[in-house]
Amino acid sequence: MGVTRVAGVHVKSGALNVSIVELTDDGFLKLVSTTRLQPNSALPDTTRLADLADRFHQHLSPLSVSSVAILDTRSFGSWKYADAFARVFGICAVLQGSTMLPVEAITYRTNKVGASVSLQPNKLNQFAAESVGQESSPTYWTTGMAEAAATAVHVLKGRS
């Protein structure tokens, strides 16, 4: 079967937190790459969306991912329109960038992701970097990257 790589994505504060996790034939989970992509606020909306989707595509293109796993939004009653817009904007960029790869992009509920990595849905930021072969937490791990990695692991566990 070979190596399978999944890009986990968690959109937080408008930024795309992307964690690429691979699963090899021997069942080992390994964090391959992490990056945070911010929309370019100097561009108008349509150009900013195309730019973010293109940068997402460019980051994933050489990494040979088989799918993109987006962490679904938890319910927030106090959200302002700007917060919701930034989240939807980021998700749209991920969906568009995924079609350019071309790979499937699917959203996953926090409760299912949490159950598969043995964490409460609102505690995914506590996903251990050691679970994906890291000795210490990478940059942005506790501010969005852990949730992205947990989502990728959820998908990979479903395949094994």
Alpha-helical runs (H) found in the chain: 45-60, 81-100, 110-116, 145-159
- Give residue limits of the domains in the chain: 4-159
Q: What is the residue-level pLDDT of the chain in tens, covering all 160 positions?
A: 456 999 999 999 889 999 999 998 888 999 999 999 999 999 999 999 999 999 999 999 999 999 999 999 876 678 888 888 999 999 999 999 999 999 999 999 999 999 999 999 999 999 999 999 999 999 999 999 999 999 999 999 985 4
Q: Report the C-alpha gap between 92 and 94 in whole angstroms.
A: 5
Helix axes 81-100, 45-60, angle to 10 degrees: 50
What's the topology of domain 4-159?
Nucleotidyltransferase; domain 5 (3.30.420)
What share of the chain has pLDDT > 70, as a percent? 96
Please, are residues 71 and 10 in contact by the beta-carbon 8 Å criterion? yes
How confident is the model at residue 124, as a pLDDT?
A: 96
